[in-house]
Structures are given as C-alpha cells and as structure tokens.
Amino acid sequence: MGPVNLVIAGIVATAAMTLFTELVFRLLKRKYHVIRVLANMIRFDRVTPVHTTPQPQMIVAGVVHYFIGIIFAFLYSSFIVWVPDWNPSLRALVLA
C-alpha cells in the first residue's frame, strides 16, 4: 500500500472510529467528545464548555487526533509486511 493510500486509510479509519464513539456516547446519553478531551489535555484543563467557539486548541486537537490515526495506519501496514504468510482474510481483519 502506498503512502497516499495509507494517509487516506488513516483519515477514514479515524473518522469512522470517532463517529462510532460519538454515536455510542450519544445513545448512552453521556458527554464524551474525543477531540474535546484531547483539546483539554493540550490546555491542561479538565473541562471545556460545550457551546464554545472553536479555539486554537480544538483545531490543534483535531489535527493531532487525525495525525495519530495516520501513524497507526503506517504502523499496521508495516506490521502486516512482517507477516507475509497470513491468510488474506486474516490480514484484512487485522487492518480493519
């Protein structure tokens, strides 16, 4: 898989996981937002008001969140290369 495809895979996978997390926590009626939590970590704060305008920390947190997803895509890709004898179905499951 080429680097461009890995970046796209990292972005899509991160978006899917983030949307899944948002959906589950909305169904459970609990407040948990991945990017907001990361922004609080960047600000060294525990709470960000829910209805605030996007602050620089929120933007940086979003970029960091997706960058971590892209790094994971590259790590998974390099892990799969080390195990060439795997069944293609098992390989797809690990990448998913």
Taking only the tens place, the pLDDT of each residue in 34-59 is 888 888 888 776 666 666 656 788 88
Cβ-based neighbour number of residue 55 at 10 Å: 13
Query: Average pLDDT of the chain?
Result: 82
Non-local CB neighbours of 44 within 8 Å, separated by 6+ positions: none
pTM: 0.73
Contact 1, 77 (CB under 8 A): yes
Task: List pLDDT tens digits, range 63-78.
Answer: 999 999 999 999 888 8
